[in-house]
Amino acid sequence: MSGFKAFLLRGNVVDLAVAVVIGAAFGKIVDALVSGFITPLIGVLGGVPDFSALTVTINGSVFAIGVFINALLSFLLIAGVVYFFIVLPTSKLMEAAKPKAPAPAPKTRECPECLSQIPLAARRCAHCTAEVAPAVHAT
């Protein structure tokens, strides 16, 4: 019994349980947003589409294509709402909050004779063989 208790109290199992509960609650919020606001907005523009009565019969077998089309449209609406109202704004907020990394120190410099890039420590250009003064390092 102690092994089972240790398994249940491991961090990743508890985290997964919390994620499932939060995900279910979040799914209800997104579903309410789509059915309460987005679908009526679509209905204002062109009528609420309902394809549930659309069927195809082949050799006596009835295929409920309309149910699939309704589920597909619902999925696309929910995916769009999640992306445009949650993922995109959250990504922009996270990007704005991320600290800016300092620019890396240059490792090369320009040859004053031929304008090609040479290492900072070089005393002669590998391209034109001109002698160049050592780079001044800022400290």
**pLDDT tens digits, one per residue of 95-106:** 988 888 888 888
Q: H-type helices in 34-126, by residue range?
A: 39-46, 65-82, 88-97
Which fold, 2-97?
1.10.1200
Residues of each domain in the chain carrying CATH 1.10.1200: 2-97
pLDDT band, very low/low/confident/very high, at 137 (cuts 50, 70, 90): low
Report which secondary-structure segment, H or E, holds 6.
Answer: helix 2-8
Q: Is the pLDDT of residue 110 over 80?
A: yes
CA 90-94-97 angle, to 5 degrees, is: 140
pLDDT band, very low/low/confident/very high, at 139 (cuts 50, 70, 90): very low
Segment 22-37 shows an average pLDDT of 86
